[in-house]
Structure 1
Amino acid sequence: MTLRSSLSLLLLAGALPLTQACGASSDAAPAPPPAVPVVSVVEVRPETVSVASEWVATLDGLVNAQIRPQVSGYLTRRLYRDGARVRRGEVLFEIDPRPFEAALAQAQAHLAQAEAELGRAARDVERDTPLARERAIPQSQLDNDIQGHLAAQAAVKSAQAAVDTAALNVEFTRVRSLVDGVAAIATAQIGDLVSPSTLLTTVSQVDPIRAFFSLSEQEYLRVAEDLNRADARLWSSSGGLRLTLADGSEYPARGQFLAADRQIDPRTGTMRISATFPNPRHVLRPGQYGRVQAETTTVDNALLVPQRAISETQGRSELRVVGADGTVHLASVVLGSRVGARRIVTSGLEAGARVIVDAPQLAPGTAVDVRPYTADTDAASARQGD
C-alpha cells in the first residue's frame, strides 16, 4: 500500500465519528425561548383630585414667656423641675426677701407718722375754725391750718404709695410663671445675684403649639382671598392642615390656619404664615421642624401614575408603557404636582395607557405579560415616599 493510500484511510476513519456526532445533534430538541417577563401595570384614567402643597415648618410656643425678676437680689430657691409643666401664677424662684421686708416695715412706719401728722392738722383746723369766725385769731392762722391739713393728706397718700410699692417688692421676691406651659432649663443658679435684666428661664405655652411656614408670592396670590377670610375656609374645610414630623410620621391631629403676616418679606419674596396644632400630650416642642401640607387646589381630568413608575434620565422624566402589541414603549412625560404616592402627568401620556410600575428598566421593544397593579402596593409606596 502506498503512503498516499494510507493517509486517505486515516482521514476517512477520523471523519466518520464526526459525521455521526453531527447527525445525533441534529436529532436533539431545540432550546426553549426565553421567558416573557411579567410586569404590573396601572391603566391611567382621568380623575378629579385635590392637590396639596407642602412647606417646611418650624414649631414654636403659642406664647414664649421670658421669666425675669422684677427686683434685684440673691436667688435663694428654685421651686420647679427643669422641663416640667407649670401653671400660671406658680412660684418658680424665690429671691432673698429680707431687704424688702425691712423696706416695707420702714414704709409702714412712715405711713403711721404721716397719719399722725394728718390727725394733728385736722384738729388744728377744727379748733381754729370757730375762733377765726369770732375774730379771736387772725384768718391767716386758719389759712395756714388748712394748708397744713392738705399737706398732711398728701403726705399720707405718698406714704401709702410707698407702703404699696414695698409690699409689691416683697411679693416680687417670689418669681411666678406668667402662663401655663413647659418651663425650660433654668439659666440662673441658687446664690446668683439677679436683677430685672437677668433671664431666669422661659415658659412656653405649647397646647396649642404654633407652626410657622412661608408661602411664595405666587402661592400667596393663589390663596390670598381665602387667607383674608377669618376662617381660612379653603384650608379648614378640607380637614385642616396636616403635619409630617422629622421621622416621617404624620401627626394625628389636624391644624388650623391662624394668621398671615402683614407683608411679603422683600428679602425672600415669601409670606409668613402661622398655624396652630393641638398638643395635649406636649409631644411637639418649640424648635422642632416638620412639613405642613394643605389642599390648595382641585384638578379635573388629571392623569396620575405611581411615583415608583417614573424614571429619571438626564433630567427627563420617563414612563414605560405597554403598547397594543404587548411590547414596552418609552414615553417622555412632563410631571405636575404630587398626590400622595402618585404624580400628575401633564403631558406625554394619554388616558387608557398601561403604565409599567415595577420594572422601570425594561428595554423598549421587550415583549411582556401584564398583571394589574394593586392598591396595597400603592399604599406601601406612599409610606416609603414619606
Structure 2
Amino acid sequence: MAHRARTLGLSLLGYMVGLAALSGCQQEVAAPPATPVPEVAVITVTTQTVVDEPEFIGQTESSRPVEIRPQVTGIIKERLFQEGRDVKMGALLYQIDPVPFQAAAMSAKAMVAQAEARLVQAKQNHALSRGERPRDGQAHPRRNGRAVEKFPVGR
C-alpha cells in the first residue's frame, strides 16, 4: 500500500506539473495600445488684486402697488412695456386696435352731418312758415303747411 500511495502521489505531482506547464504555454494577450498624452494649456500664475463684489439673489416688491385700469374698451394689439421695468408718466402702455374707434368716429360725423342738414331744412321751413320767400323768389305753398305742422312756432 505504501507503494500504491507513493505512485498515486507521484502521479498527482506529475499531473500538476503538466498542468502548470500547459498553462504557461498559452499565448500572451497583447497589451492595449497606450493612450496618447493629452495636450493641456499652460499659463503662468501671477499675483494681482481681486475686487470682491458680493452677489445676492433676492426678490423685491414695490412700496406702492400700481393698478392699471383701462379708460376705454377695445382689443389690445400690443403691450408696449416690459414687466418689472420703470415706466415714465405719460408713456404709452398698450396699443389698442383703432378700427372700432375709427368706425365710431365716422358714424358720429355722419350723424352730425345729418343733424346739420335737418337744421338747415328746419330753418328754411321756419322762414317759409313766417311768410318769407325763398332765395329764388318763389313761394312754396305746400312746404308752408308742412313746416307749420312739423315745427309749430308760437302755439
TM-score, length-scaled by structure 2: 0.43
Structure scoring higher RCO (CA < 8 A, sep ≥ 6) equals: 1
Q: Pick the structure with greater CA Rg.
A: 2
TM-score, length-scaled by structure 1: 0.19
Q: Give the structure with the higher percent helix.
A: 2
